[in-house]
């Protein structure tokens, strides 16, 4: 049975809409831990569009479970990761124009660069996961560069129509997971997973970690909105 990593970037996105102090992703991490998350995941993007350096610094000191830093393969990010030392780093591709991480890291096309990053992170005592598409050549390359784990990008599965196309995308992930385990890699998955499509992915043999953000934060709005309104009404009507 996999454990849940909660991605708190989406809380920071809401905060940055006003460039203010709320909602604070640090509080979100505490709530996620109390809810049973085994891992807190955050992506410090180069453009700092959601998570800020201050968030990472505080979370490093406050998170009690595994801290998973998603990061681009750049010298600047490697320096930050090696200084802050999250338990795990997940290497992701980063496009400035993208709304979210649109595809996996092309490990096969840049093995020397990724291998060097993996080496530096591991030397700092950090477990390294590579966010890749569920393709055989990417799994093989991930094993060659010395990664501890791979996180399969489930976006195409999540976006596929329910039916044969989704089944085909599921089969790709299940087969890639089997291949990765055979090569000694720990298997994670994430992106676009929600309360409807997660179950099958969670049941893949050897699946260890699922990183989920958008659907959890979206649901939190609705399971919490009524109470938040009630509290405001109470303040207004009986000040």
Nearer to ligand PXP, 47 or 237 (CB): 47
The answer to whether the CB of 192 falls within 8 A of the CB of 155 is: yes
50 is catalytic: no
43 is catalytic: yes
Q: Which of 10, 50, 153, 191 is catalytic?
A: 191
Residue identified by tokens 């968030």 is 55
CB of 177 to ligand PXP, least distance (A): 15
CB of 237 to ligand PXP, least distance (A): 37
Nearer to ligand PXP, 90 or 169 (CB): 90
Q: Report CA-CA distances (Å) from 238 to 49, 226, 227, 233, 235.
A: 39, 18, 16, 8, 5
**Terminal alpha carbon distance of the chain:** 49
The span from the CA of 121 to the CA of 179, in Å, is: 24
CB of 153 to ligand PXP, least distance (A): 7
Q: Which of 43, 50, 153, 188 is catalytic?
A: 43
Q: Report CA-CA distances (Å) from 212 to 82, 103, 182.
A: 25, 16, 25
The span from the CA of 187 to the CA of 176, in Å, is: 9
Q: What is the DSSP string of 28-72?
A: HHHHHHHHT-SEEEEE--TT-SSS-HHHHHHHHHH--SEEEEEE-
Nearer to ligand PXP, 128 or 193 (CB): 193
Residues near ligand PXP (CB under 6 A)? 7, 9, 43, 70, 90, 92, 100-101, 131, 151, 190-193, 211-215
Residue identified by tokens 């610094």 is 57
10 is catalytic: no
Nearer to ligand PXP, 41 or 179 (CB): 41
Residues labelled as active-site residues = 43, 70, 191
């Amino acid at each position: 049975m996999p454990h849940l990593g909660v991605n708190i970037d989406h809380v920071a996105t809401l905060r940055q809409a006003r460039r203010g102090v709320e909602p604070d992703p640090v509080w979100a991490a505490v709530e996620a831990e109390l809810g049973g998350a085994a891992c807190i995941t955050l992506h410090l993007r180069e453009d700092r569009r959601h998570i800020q350096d201050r968030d990472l610094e505080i979370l490093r000191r406050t998170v009690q479970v595994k801290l998973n830093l998603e990061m681009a393969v750049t010298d600047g990010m490697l320096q930050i990761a090696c200084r802050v030392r999250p338990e795990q780093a997940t290497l992701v591709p980063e496009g400035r124009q993208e709304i979210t991480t649109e595809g996996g890291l092309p490990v096969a096309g840049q093995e020397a660069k990724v291998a060097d990053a993996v080496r530096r992170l591991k030397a700092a005592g950090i477990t390294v996961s590579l966010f890749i598409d569920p393709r055989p050549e990417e799994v093989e390359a991930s094993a060659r560069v010395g990664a501890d784990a791979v996180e399969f990008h489930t976006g195409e599965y999540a976006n596929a129509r329910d039916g044969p196309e989704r089944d085909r995308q599921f089969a790709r992930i299940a087969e890639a997971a089997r291949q990765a385990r055979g090569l000694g890699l720990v298997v994670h998955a994430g992106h676009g997973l929600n309360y409807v499509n997660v179950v099958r992915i969670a049941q893949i043999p050897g699946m260890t970690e699922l990183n989920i953000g958008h659907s959890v934060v979206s649901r939190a709005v609705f399971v919490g909105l009524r109470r938040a309104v009630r509290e405001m009404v109470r303040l207004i009507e009986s000040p």
